[in-house]
Amino acid sequence: MKSKKIEINGIKITAFEDGSIQKPHFTEGLVRTFGTKRPDNYMVVKVGRKLFLVHRLIAEAFLNDWDCDLQIDHINGDSSFNSRHNLRMVTNQGNQLAFKRKKIGTSSIYRGVSWENGRNKWKMQIRKDGEHFTQRFESEFEAAKAYDEAAINLGFFKEALNF
């Protein structure tokens, strides 16, 4: 497994491509950890009395296009899974076009699809750059296919699709 040494907050740590970090501990010597999960599901690790997001450390160590002005996207949508292969650098706009979880409590099993009571139809909705696109369908499946087609045309990443 690949590893790289980087200096964070004046302390040398080792980042591993599996998303773990090895750092010095004042009583236990070197400690390897994946960090601690915050309520928002991001993993953090304390280095020299300061908390750091683990995905940022892994990205800095392994991503060739590392740029602190860009955002780091978790390709599979799981912000606690920080493997090098699950991270990519994107713009804010690119991050909005990436994996989207289906909202909890919605009427459809598909992303971007909901039941519209007043019209008794399935509604597909998608947004990009302030523009809002809506279509209605008799079938939930047809609405989901239309969502995917619109997502592809708008440049969404494949991870944001239903199928």
State the amino acid at position 12 in one-letter form: K
The two tokens of residue 23 are 């750092």
Distance CA(137)–CA(146), nearest Å, equals 9
The residues near 161 (Cβ < 8 Å, ≥ 6 apart) are 111, 148, 151, 152
* Rounded Cα–Cα distance for residues 163 and 106 (Å): 18
pLDDT digits (tens, 9 = 90+) for 18-43: 999 999 988 888 999 999 999 999 99
pTM score: 0.70
> Taking 70 as the threshold, does the pLDDT of residue 101 lie above it?
no
Domains of the chain (ranges, CATH numbers): 3-94 (3.90.75.20), 101-160 (1.20.5)
- Using a 10 angstrom Cβ sphere, with 0-12 exposed, 13-18 middle and 19 or more buried, the burial of residue 27 is exposed
